[in-house]
Amino acid sequence: MIRLEQIYKNYVSGSKQVTALDGINLHISAGEVFGIIGRSGAGKSTLIRMLNLLERPTTGDVWLNNEQISALTDAQLRTVRQKIGMVFQHFNLLQMRTVLDNVCFPLRLAGLTRAQQRERALEVLELVGLKDHVNKYPRQLSGGQQQRVGIARALANHPQLLLCDEATSALDPETTQSILRLLSEINQNLGITIVLITHSMDVIRSICDRVAVIEGGKLVEIGPVMDVFLHPQHAVTQSLLTESGMDTDGWQSFSQQVEGRLLRLSFRGEATSAPVLSQISREFNVDLSILQGAVSRIKDTPYGQLVVAAKGDLEQWPEVEALLAQHGIDCEVLRP
C-alpha cells in the first residue's frame, strides 16, 4: 500500500542541522492498522507527514500503490492527497463554519456540486454518529464530537488511507476509547488502512495490528503488536511498556529473595496457564510460585505474562518445556 525507502529528513534550524528522520524503511500493507510510537522529538510527526508528503524527504522515496508519489509536483499531489485522509490532535476545524460545512469543505475542493457535497457529508456524518449535530458549530460540541467531525471530514473523499496524528491525545480516557472504537470500525467495515502516531502504548494495544518504535529518527523495533508487547527487544520499547504498566519486570526488585529457576511464561489467545501449571506441579513434582502476573488484551485477543519460580525436581525440565509449548505457552528462562 505505502512504502518508505531510505528516507532522510534534515531540518536547518539557525546554524544547526537536525536529522529528524535517519534512514527510514517501512512498508505498510493495505487493510492494516499500523501504529508508530515514540517519545517527544523522536520523529513521529515528521514521519506521518512523509506519508502524504506534507513534508518532503531530503532524500529517499515514498511509494503509494506502486506510484512514486515523492516524484510528483505539488499540483499532481493534490489529487493523490484526496485518497489520503488526515485526522489531527487538535481537530483543526473551521470554527466559523457549521459541522456540515466543515465536512463539505474537502468535497468542494474535489469539485463536487453543492448537492453532491451535502449528500456525501450527511452520509459520513451519520457514519460517525453526528447526524443530529450537523447544523451546530464546533464550539457547541464536546472534544470527542469535534474529533468525530475531523474523522468525517477525513473520510469524505473516500480515502484508501487514513493518517491519525495523535488523534486521541487531547481527549479523556473514555472518549479516547470511543474514538479508537470508531477508527477500528472504519478499518474493519470500510477496509481503510490506518496509520497512527501516538506516545501511548494503550492506543497501540487497543487497535493496532503492527507497531513500529521510533527513536532519534530511526525505527528501532517493528512487528506485530502481540510480539512486541510480549518480547520487546529495544530498551525504548521496554521503558515505554514499563511506564504504561504493561510489563512484568517488577519481579526483579525481589528476585534475590526467591529461590529456584525463574521463568517468564507468555500466553495468548485461548491458552490459559493455570491448568497447565497445576499439571506440571502434579506430574513432575515441581513447585511453581507466581511472582508476578499481568493479563490484558491486544485488540480482541487476550494475552498474559506470568513470572514464576520453579523449585523441586528439575531433572525432567525438557518435558516441562515441551508441555508448555504444546499448550501454546512461551517459556523464557530469566534465571537458570
Determine whether 66 is exposed, middle or buried from the number of CB atoms within 10 Å of its CB (0-12, 13-18, 19+).
Answer: exposed
Q: Least CB distance from residue 211 to ligand ADP, whole Å?
A: 15
Q: Which of the stretches 12-20, 179-187, 249-257, 304-312 binds ligand ADP when contact is defined by CB under 6 A? A: 12-20
Q: Least CB distance from residue 7 to ligand ADP, whole Å?
A: 12
Specify the residue, 74 or 132, whose C-beta has the smaller distance to ligand ADP. Answer: 74
Residues in contact with ligand ADP, counted by CB under 6 A, come to a total of 12
Give the footprint of ligand ADP on residues 158-197 (CB under 6 A): none
Give the footprint of ligand ADP on residues 114-143 (CB under 6 A): none
If residue 78 lies in a helix (H) or strand (E), which one and from where to where? helix 74-81
Q: Least CB distance from residue 226 to ligand ADP, whole Å?
A: 24
CA pair distance 66, 77, nearest whole angstrom: 15
Q: Using DSSP, state whether 252 is helix, strand or coil.
A: helix
CA pair distance 155, 153, nearest whole angstrom: 5
Give the footprint of ligand ADP on residues 25-44 (CB under 6 A): 38, 40-44
CA pair distance 329, 276, nearest whole angstrom: 9
Give the footprint of ligand ADP on residues 40-99 (CB under 6 A): 40-46
Q: Least CB distance from residue 56 to ligand ADP, whole Å?
A: 12
Specify the residue, 40 or 257, whose C-beta has the smaller distance to ligand ADP. Answer: 40
Specify the residue, 18 or 325, whose C-beta has the smaller distance to ligand ADP. Answer: 18
Specify the residue, 54 or 258, whose C-beta has the smaller distance to ligand ADP. Answer: 54
Specify the residue, 41 or 191, whose C-beta has the smaller distance to ligand ADP. Answer: 41
Closest-CA residue to 291 (of 239, 322, 334): 334
CA pair distance 217, 5, nearest whole angstrom: 14
Could you tell me what percentage of the chain is helix, strand and coil, using 3-state DSSP and rounding each to the nearest 5?
40, 30, 30
Specify the residue, 102 or 198, whose C-beta has the smaller distance to ligand ADP. Answer: 198
Q: Least CB distance from residue 48 to ligand ADP, whole Å?
A: 8
Residue 18 in the binding site for ligand ADP (CB under 6 A): yes
Q: Which of the stretches 10-18, 23-31, 70-78, 288-296 binds ligand ADP when contact is defined by CB under 6 A? A: 10-18
Residue 20 in the binding site for ligand ADP (CB under 6 A): yes
Q: Least CB distance from residue 238 to ligand ADP, whole Å?
A: 18
Whether residue 320 contacts residue 279, with contact meaning beta carbons closer than 8 Å, is answered with: no
CA pair distance 144, 142, nearest whole angstrom: 5
CA pair distance 276, 274, nearest whole angstrom: 5
**Which residues 6+ apart lie within 8 Å of 289 measured at CB?**
258, 260, 308, 309, 311
Q: Which three cell numbers stand for residue 152?
A: 468525517
Specify the residue, 41 or 312, whose C-beta has the smaller distance to ligand ADP. Answer: 41
Q: Using DSSP, state whether 239 is helix, strand or coil.
A: helix
Specify the residue, 55 or 209, whose C-beta has the smaller distance to ligand ADP. Answer: 55
Q: What angle do CA 180, 330, 230 make, to 5 degrees?
A: 30
Contacting positions for ligand ADP (CB under 6 A): 11, 13, 18, 20, 38, 40-46
